[in-house]
């Protein structure tokens, strides 16, 4: 049974220019102990769909879904109090900007212990011991001293480790990492990713990794969900996805990886993700798709079967087509 289950999730933001649909009919399942990657460009609704699951969207957002459940419990029907018991304990999240995600007015120790105090029945001394233990787990040297530091006294990488410590404080069953390495130095990025994966192995929690880095996906994820302009366009196991992408968007993303480039010039995807006012009538990717025809531009594509990676496409790429293409 899946731990987190989203069916037909949509999120709409009220803006000055009318409603803006940031997430559009997204389905998602995460099994206990699984690593799922959600990939897509900026503005593809990856973060928003996860924030919706956590109940962290601002008041301008309207969330609708046919099903939104955690461990079989309906998140939509839950009272605010019941949901707060779940959020931060069983499902936790870390964010993109570690420097601004920690409160500048409180020591990092306070911010870690606060999570423990909220959810676990520990006394002051036990909370302190647990905080030290957590800092050791996430690789912060000299934890006793570091607990008294303020966020501005530490580096971005250290702050992200603090964020991870806060997130795993109550042994969550699901950790959502929203581009956890984007704001960090390249050398630190690998360390943080390794930390997340090793923590996932140790604790057996499920991990959702939101990223736009296909290299990260290849190294860490077991299953991949590709989002484009608020829609899920493809979902596959990681080997299958890299081997045979079924959606032209996925194929184009993979072709743009430097490691996979065969020609002198790195292939790119022309154009940008459609915004609030230039949403195409048919397939959202059609203006940028090199296979698009009249049908694509007019009719929204159906979702294909699981054997075709649930691709949201009129003409999903099959392995036969690929073979034919590479032969020509």
Partner 1 sequence: MLKYFLARLLTFVPTFLGVTLISFAFIRVLPGDPIIVMAGERGLSDERYAELVTQYGFDRPIWEQFWDYFTGVLQGDLGTSLVTKKPVWDEFFTLFPATLELSICAILFAMLLGLPAGVIAAVYRGKFFDRALMSTALVGYSMPIFWWALLLIIVFSGNLGWTPVSGRIDLLYFFPPVTGFMLIDSALSGQDGAFVSAVRHLILPTIVLGTIPLAVIARQTRSAMLEVLSEDYIRTARAKGLTPSRVNGLHALRNAMIPVITVIGLSVGTLLAGAILTETIFSWPGIGKWMVDSIFRRDYPVVQGGLLLIAVMVMIVNLTVDLLYGLINPKIRKR
Site for partner 1, rule CB under 8 A: 54-56, 58, 80, 84-89, 92-93, 95, 97, 100-106, 111, 114-115, 118-119, 150, 152, 163, 166-167
CB of 3 to partner 1, least distance (A): 17
CB of 87 to partner 1, least distance (A): 4
Of 38 and 50, which CB lies nearer to partner 1 in the complex structure? Answer: 50
The structure tokens 């999903």 sit at 316
CB of 211 to partner 1, least distance (A): 18
The structure tokens 């979702």 sit at 303
CB of 63 to partner 1, least distance (A): 15
- Where helices occur in 43-123 by DSSP H, the ranges are 46-54, 80-86, 98-101, 108-119
Of 25 and 101, which CB lies nearer to partner 1 in the complex structure? Answer: 101
CB of 81 to partner 1, least distance (A): 8
Sort strands 18-30 and 223-228 into parallel, antiparallel or unpaired.
unpaired
The Cα 76–Cα 70 span in angstroms is 10
Of 100 and 319, which CB lies nearer to partner 1 in the complex structure? Answer: 100
The Cα 221–Cα 198 span in angstroms is 13
Helix axes 124-137, 156-168, angle to 10 degrees: 130
Helix (H, G, I), strand (E, B) or coil at 208: strand
CB of 119 to partner 1, least distance (A): 6
Query: What does the block give as tokens for 266?
Result: 């790195």
Chain centroid to CA 182: how far?
A: 12
Of 152 and 265, which CB lies nearer to partner 1 in the complex structure? Answer: 152
DSSP letters for 177-193: EESTTTTS-HHHHHHHH
Of 95 and 135, which CB lies nearer to partner 1 in the complex structure? Answer: 95
The Cα 248–Cα 253 span in angstroms is 9
Of 10 and 111, which CB lies nearer to partner 1 in the complex structure? Answer: 111
The values of phi and psi at residue 110, to 5°, are -60, -40
């Amino acid at each position: 049974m899946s731990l987190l289950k989203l069916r037909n999730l949509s999120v709409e933001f009220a803006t000055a220019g009318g409603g803006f649909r940031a997430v559009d009919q997204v389905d998602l399942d995460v099994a206990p102990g699984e690593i799922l990657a959600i990939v897509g460009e900026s503005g593809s609704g990856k973060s928003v769909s996860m924030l919706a699951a956590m109940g962290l969207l601002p008041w301008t957002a309207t969330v609708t879904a046919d099903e939104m459940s955690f461990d079989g419990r309906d998140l939509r029907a839950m009272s605010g109090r019941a949901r707060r018991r779940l959020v931060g304990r069983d499902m936790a999240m870390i964010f993109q900007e570690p420097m601004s995600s920690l409160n500048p007015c409180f020591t990092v120790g306070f911010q870690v212990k606060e999570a423990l105090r909220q959810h676990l029945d520990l006394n002051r001394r036990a909370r302190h011991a647990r905080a030290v233990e957590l800092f050791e787990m996430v690789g912060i040297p000299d934890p006793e001293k570091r607990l008294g530091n303020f966020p501005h006294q530490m580096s971005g990488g250290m702050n992200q480790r603090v964020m991870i410590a806060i997130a795993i404080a109550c042994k969550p069953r699901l950790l959502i990492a929203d581009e956890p390495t984007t704001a960090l130095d390249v050398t630190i990025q690998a360390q943080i990713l390794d930390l997340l994966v090793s923590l996932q192995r140790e604790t057996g929690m499920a991990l959702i990794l939101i990223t736009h880095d296909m290299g990260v996906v290849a190294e860490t994820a077991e299953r991949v969900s590709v989002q484009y302009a608020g829609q899920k366009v493809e979902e596959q196991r990681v080997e299958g996805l890299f081997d045979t992408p079924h959606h032209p968007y996925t194929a184009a993303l993979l072709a743009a990886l430097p490691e996979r480039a065969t020609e002198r010039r790195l292939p790119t995807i022309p154009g940008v993700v459609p915004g609030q006012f230039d949403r195409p009538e048919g397939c959202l990717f059609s203006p940028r798709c090199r296979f698009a025809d009249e049908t694509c531009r007019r009719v929204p594509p159906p979702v294909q079967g699981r054997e075709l990676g649930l691709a949201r496409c009129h003409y999903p790429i099959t392995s036969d087509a690929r073979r034919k293409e590479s032969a020509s």
